[in-house]
A = this chain, B = another copy of it.
Amino acid sequence: TRNIDLAVVAGDGIGTEVVEQGLAVLEAALAGSDVKVATTEFDLGARRWHATGETLADGDLERIREHDAILLGAIGDPSVPSGVLERGLLLKLRFALDHYVNLRPGKLYPGVKSPLAEPGEVDFVVVREGTEGPYVGNGGSVRTGTPHEIATEVSVNTAFGVERVVRDAFARAQARPRRHLTLVHKHNVLVHAGHLWRRTVEAVNAEFPDVTTDYLHVDAATIFLTTNPSRFDVIVTDNLFGDILTDQAAAITGGIGLAASANINPDRTAPSMFEPVHGSAPDIAGQGKADPTATVLSVSLLLDHLGLTAEAARVEAAVAADLAERGSRVRSTAEVGQDLAARVAD
């Protein structure tokens, strides 16, 4: 038997509800196999912060580090000042555990309505850099609150950091039928960071000669995501552009209720983290209204990362089958989770 130690950070709002279903589907996927999952729950998020003032204590981080993977629900609550939990917990996990590949599939499953007129076959994946760019927290303000305030945000990009994520993106592109990689940046304005990205893509392309590449400015990329999303195969981009494009991608592929993500440490020096793209949605929390599908698809990415590819495929197939028959039926969070678990068990 293989034992998997899973750290569970359900977090705030609908996070607990969707994670519960994600875990149920995970269990169903591994039932009857010789893989056993042991979960450890970490009480992190708004409640913990209100109670203790802590976002992510060193001890928690070290204990999380000992796990094989992390399943995260959602972080954030209006009662906590903006940025405290995002920077102090969610981004701290991504940075501390070196999740430099933030993987976000953009796939339109049969049966899912897209707001686009003619969606075509949409099936791309965004490789968003996860440890650099404008997310590094390298900024500040002086004369704060006065008419002379200056606030800065520094995007930090390194050859080391760009190259490793670009190489990962090329490898993913090479493994897909279309073998195409699109770099998205804004190198006509952000010339220093942009040219580093561009040069890196050109250089790493030599190692993957069978992958074709093109380039889009981020503004143009939003146009193509609207008018021709099927043109994309693998997109590689920086942390902030990736944040923006993947929410837009979710909007055209069924909404954030379906958008999964994986924060991957490809070198496996620390556990990777799997989370739905959506937030804690305090407006619908506790009502059983949240769609757990994004979390279940994130569980599929988790299984895949752990090498359990058949189980991963079964979970994705269960979601695909459910979506194909979903129509406009309204089900609770638990009902969707149960239906998905039942399909996986079949």
Known: A157-B150, A192-B141, A219-B244. A82 touches B226 (CB 8 A): no
Contact A196 B141 (CB under 8 A): yes
- A157 interface neighbour in B146, B151, B159, Cβ under 8 Å: B151
Bound-state CA distance A149–B162 (Å) is: 10
CB distance from A118 to the nearest CB of B (A): 8
| Given contacts A151-B157, A158-B150, A244-B222, A82 and B187 within 8 Å (CB-CB) | yes
A247: B residues at CB distance < 8 A:
219-220, 222-223
Q: Are A188 and B83 in contact (CB under 8 A)?
A: yes
B222 near A191 with CB under 8 A, answer no
Residues of B within 8 A of A163 (CB): 147
Partner of A248, one of B82, B87, B222: B222
Contact B193 A151 (CB under 8 A): yes
Interface size class of A (residues with CB under 8 A): 35 or more
Q: Tell me, in angstroms, the Cα distance from A113 to B240 when the chains sit together.
A: 31
Decide: A222 and B199 in contact? CB cutoff 8 A. no
| Residue A112 at the chain B interface, CB threshold 8 Å | no
A187 touching B83, Cβ below 8 Å: yes
The distance in angstroms between the C-alpha atoms of A251 and B135, with both chains bound, is 28
Per-position contact with B for A224-250: 1 when CB-CB < 8 Å, else 0? 011100000000000010011111101
Q: Which A residues, 158 to 215, have Cβ-Cβ distances below 8 Å to chain B?
A: 158-160, 163, 186-196, 198-199
Q: Does A145 touch B at the CB level, under 8 Å?
A: yes
Chain B residues with Cβ below 8 Å from A199 are: 145
Complex partner residue of A160 from B147, B159, B246, CB under 8 angstroms: B147
A266 in contact (CB, < 8 A): no
**Across the two chains, which residue of chain B brings its CB closest to A190?**
B153
Residues of B within 8 A of A159 (CB): 143, 146-150
Q: List 20 A-B contacts (CB under 8 A).
A: A82-B188, A83-B189, A86-B188, A134-B190, A145-B199, A148-B159, A150-B156, A150-B159, A151-B158, A151-B195, A153-B154, A153-B157, A154-B154, A189-B240, A219-B243, A222-B245, A225-B248, A226-B226, A226-B248, A244-B244
* Additional pairs, 6, CB under 8 Å, beyond known A113-B117, A219-B243, A222-B245: A82-B191, A115-B227, A147-B159, A148-B158, A153-B157, A223-B250
